[in-house]
Amino acid sequence: MLTTITVLPDHIANQIAAGEVIQRPASAVKELLENAVDAEASEIHLILNDAGKALVQVIDNGKGMSAEDARLCFERHATSKIKQIDDLFQIRTMGFRGEALASIAAVAQVELKTRTPDSEVGVQLEVANSRIESEVPVATPLGTSIAMKNLFFNVPARRNFLKSNAAEMRHILEEFTRVALAFPDIRFNLTANHQQLYQLESGSLKQRIVQLLGNPYQSKLVTVQEQTDYLNIRGFVGKPETAKKTRGDQYFFVNNRYIKSGYLHHAVMSAFQELIAGDQFPTYVLFIDLDPAQIDVNVHPTKQEIKFEDEKIVYAFVQAAIRHALAQFSITPTLDFDLDRGIQSLTSIQHPFTEEKKQATASSSLYSGFTQKNQAHFIDRASTGQAKPWAGLPMREVSTNEERQAALLHTITDLEEITFTQLLNTYILYPLKDGYRLIHQQRAHERVRFEQLMQADAQKPIASQRSMFPATIELSPADAALFEELIPELAELGYLIEPFGKHTYVVQGTPADLESGEEQQTIDQVLEQYKHFAQTVQLSKKEALIRVLARQQAVRGGHRLTEREMRELVGDLLRCQKGNVNPDGHPTYLEFRADQLNKLFGFQ
């Protein structure tokens, strides 16, 4: 009988398996650096030649290996880090599968030198094609040196697949940065083609970030630090002005392991919403620490993905912690009692792990306060509502869009029966079931206008009304140049403007829902504030313009409102996505509850 099945020789099987772990020089850099960290080194040198294609060498002063361990470490599934299955759920070290060295030995020539503290001489091994070629005693410093030479020397197809040195170097620096950020206590040294690129002293995380990401960050980092019984978060976010158009400086670590998480990235982005332009990315280096049992370790470790037992809590927590941090540094002012309540409510959902207890807490007022719309820490499903991979997750605690819509409409119909009172021609006061709400009319209207304008675009511009007597405006040459750029956006926002000679323009139309008049003054103010915004906050052209217009068009404090106008404004505010703050992040209203009032009066 003809056999078609053959068993692959070991070295070929090893090469195939290795492909998963070692794809490029940077994968070896990651594995070797992590092994050095796991060996408790306080100093690690990384030496590269030819972007790691010719040489990746890692020298550490860690605990070293005995001669026997040195031979064993190249075997597949040789690891000193797990002994029994239970250990899998308590992983604290970086590696644990015992695959890295076996993979490297399958696809490169390896030279290992190592010595433990209790032995005078060390051992030197040479390995190629998964086979130990030589073993000799050697005088070597305490610790381990592993040199990986000529990556893919025996797999030409893969060698040809490697990218340019510049590209491979970028991958390496990325891995180096991730490990160096996670361990600021460890000294790191990086030499490439005999040139020293980095010499990182041990120090604080902040110092390490500045060393790696650049001096400008020295005064541009905001501390993030929150602790609960369930998880802790610490680290830094860059101030909004450091946000960049390109992704790059975003780092999440879970139990000190670098991870990629679109879901958590979104949590950070949402905390930065309206502080940076829509097409920018904030810098962050964040560490989340939690019980390893709360993480699914079955996810492949080299994929840098992670699964949390309760992803929603982690999301909410990250978002809240960053908002809190930004608020504390008064980058985004918020209602402080809301923030604290948000954080506290998180603590309160830390302990329970039974389904029953979870449900009880989920329905408690603290938790619902935390998830309610218009709270500083509301988890806004609506604004995350586009088809995101996690959109299908069960969100028991947070009402569905339709439910919330219904609740909102209910409140809005209720508004018909409510009496509104204007105080000081500036505040709108109206009763709630167990208290009352005080709305700042100007800030509320700024928010309403902001969201209305944000929805406008070329397809659906703000309706414009043709002026019967078009106003002519005259600008300085510099302002005219700036203004010229804004004309298309202004058209979407209801202002129809045509050039009329040198530095002169005619306003043919203004937003239909606004009274016209004083166009020159309006445009002057818009330009002035626009310049200010463009300088201080990095926003897109359109968003900066919308912020200015929202402010410009909002009803002022001191302006008398009719009952109908008040009702309409409050209704519009309740329909807003972020009705609790104006576009600058200042509160639009304050709420006074019966229990707070009782306290103020000295009742318990």
Q: Based on CB atoms, which residue is closest to ligand ADP, 94 or 497?
A: 94
Contact call for residue 62 and Mg ion (CB under 5 A) = no
Report yes or no: 547 and 453 within 8 Å, Cβ to Cβ.
no
> Which of 151, 178, 154 is CA-nearest to residue 162?
151
CB of 31 to Mg ion, least distance (A): 5
Pairing of strands 427-432, 435-440: antiparallel
Please give the C-alpha separations between residue 225 and each of 31, 231, 232, 262, 343, in angstroms, as whole numbers. Answer: 29, 11, 8, 21, 12
DSSP state of 281: B
Q: Which does 150 bind (CB under 5 to 8 A by kind): ligand ADP, Mg ion, none?
A: none
CB of 93 to ligand ADP, least distance (A): 7
Using CB under 6 A, list all residues that contact ligand ADP: 31, 35-36, 39, 60, 62-65, 73, 78-81, 95-102, 144
> Which of 165, 159, 170 is CA-nearest to residue 109?
159
- Site size with Mg ion, rule: CB under 5 A: 3
Q: What is the rounded CA–CA span in Å between residue 41 and residue 192? A: 21
SS3 150: coil
Site string for Mg ion, 538-577 (x = CB under 5 A): ----------------------------------------
Task: Give residue 290's Cα distance to chain centre.
Answer: 18
SS3 423: strand
Handedness of CA 448, 543, 318, 91 (dihedral sign): positive
Q: Based on CB atoms, which residue is closest to ligand ADP, 172 or 233?
A: 172
Q: How many CB atoms lie within 10 A of CB 146?
A: 24
SS3 108: coil
Residue with tokens 């993480």, as numbered in its chain: 295
* Total residues found in the chain within this entry: 604
Residue 548, amino acid: V
CB of 87 to ligand ADP, least distance (A): 11
CB of 259 to ligand ADP, least distance (A): 17
CB of 37 to Mg ion, least distance (A): 9
Q: Which does 159 bind (CB under 5 to 8 A by kind): Mg ion, ligand ADP, none?
A: none
Q: Which window, 93-101, 179-187, 225-233, 507-515, contacts Mg ion (CB under 5 A)?
A: 93-101
Q: Based on CB atoms, which residue is closest to Mg ion, 186 or 398?
A: 186
Report yes or no: 372 and 378 within 8 Å, Cβ to Cβ.
yes
Q: Based on CB atoms, which residue is closest to Mg ion, 93 or 273?
A: 93
CB of 182 to Mg ion, least distance (A): 15
Q: What is the rounded CA–CA span in Å between residue 145 and residue 127? A: 14
Q: Which does 106 bind (CB under 5 to 8 A by kind): Mg ion, ligand ADP, none?
A: none
Q: Which window, 87-95, 200-208, 244-252, 288-296, contacts Mg ion (CB under 5 A)?
A: 87-95
Half-sphere exposure of 563 (CA within 13 A, CB side): 7
Contact call for residue 100 and Mg ion (CB under 5 A) = yes
CB of 104 to Mg ion, least distance (A): 10
Q: What is the rounded CA–CA span in Å between residue 375 and residue 563? A: 26
Q: What is the rounded CA–CA span in Å between residue 383 and residue 507? A: 35
From 25, 62, 64, 95, residue interacting with Mg ion (rule: CB under 5 A): 95
Q: Based on CB atoms, which residue is closest to ligand ADP, 176 or 505?
A: 176
Q: What is the rounded CA–CA span in Å between residue 447 and residue 440? A: 11
Q: Which does 314 bind (CB under 5 to 8 A by kind): Mg ion, ligand ADP, none?
A: none
Contact call for residue 104 and Mg ion (CB under 5 A) = no
Q: Based on CB atoms, which residue is closest to ligand ADP, 305 or 403?
A: 305
Under rule CB under 5 A, which residues in 13-42 are in contact with Mg ion? 35
Q: Which does 79 bind (CB under 5 to 8 A by kind): ligand ADP, Mg ion, none?
A: ligand ADP
Tokens matching residue 295: 């993480």
CB of 90 to ligand ADP, least distance (A): 15
Q: Based on CB atoms, which residue is closest to ligand ADP, 110 or 339?
A: 110
SS3 266: helix
Q: Which residue is nearest to ligand ADP (CB)?
A: 95
Q: Based on CB atoms, which residue is closest to Mg ion, 73 or 539?
A: 73
Residues that bind Mg ion (CB under 5 A): 35, 95, 100
